[in-house]
Amino acid sequence: LLDVGHTLSYAGMPDFVTPADTEKSLNFWLAARTLAAAALLSGAFLPWRISGRRWQRGWLLLASIALAGIVFYLALFVPQLFPRTFIPGQGLTRFKIGYEYFLIAAYLAAGFRFFLRYRSGEGQIAASLFAGALISAASEYLFTLYGDVTDLYNIGGHLLKVLAYGFFYRGV
C-alpha cells in the first residue's frame, strides 16, 4: 500500500488527494522501506515456525493495514510532521541520506542473519532472503547518491529494488 502511495505521489503525477511532489513521494518511500526493513529483521531473528492461529495472523494483517492508513493520513494531510528529504535545485537533505544509511544497516543486519541461518542448514529460503537483503542494501545506497528524481542512480535503485523483491518472493 505504501509503495502505491509512493508511486501515485511522484512529482509529475496527477493530484493524489493533495498535489504530487517529491517530498510527499519520499515520505511514502521511507515509510515503506522502514516497514520492509522491520519485516526482514523480524524474519531474520524470530523463529520461522510460530504456532499461531489463523485469527492471530488476521490481527497482524489488520495492524499492518492500520499502520499504512496512519502513514497515508499523515503524508497526505499533515506532511509538515515529516522532516525535509529533498530540496529542488539542491538535492537530498542530510536527513534523507542519513536515514537511507540507517536502512542500509538494517538490511545488512538482516542479510547477515539470513546468511548464518543458511550456513546452519536452513536452506534455500534463507539464501534467497540473504540475496534480497543484500540487493536491498545496494538499492538504498543508490538512493543516497541521486541529485534529481529522474537520474540514473534513482532508476538503478528502483531496478535493484525490483530484483530484491524477486528474491524475497522466491524465498517466501
Largest distance between two CA atoms of the chain: 53
Interval 145-169: pLDDT, tens: 887 777 899 899 999 999 999 999 9
Q: Which three cell numbers stand for residue 20?
A: 504530487
With 80 as the cut, is the pLDDT of residue 171 above it?
Answer: yes
By C-alpha distance, which of 54, 158, 20, 31 is closest to 103?
31
What pLDDT is recorded for position 127? 93
d(CA 107, CA 65): 23
Higher pLDDT, residue 116 or 22: 116
What pLDDT is recorded for position 118? 92
For residue 16, report the phi and psi dihedrals to the nearest 5 degrees. Answer: -115, 85
Interval 42-77: pLDDT, tens: 889 887 766 566 667 778 889 889 999 999 999 999
Mean of the per-residue pLDDT values of the chain: 88
Interval 138-147: pLDDT, tens: 999 999 988 7
What pLDDT is recorded for position 109? 97
Neighbour count for residue 56 (Cβ, 10 Å): 11
Tell me if 86 sits within 8 A of 93, measured CB to CB: yes
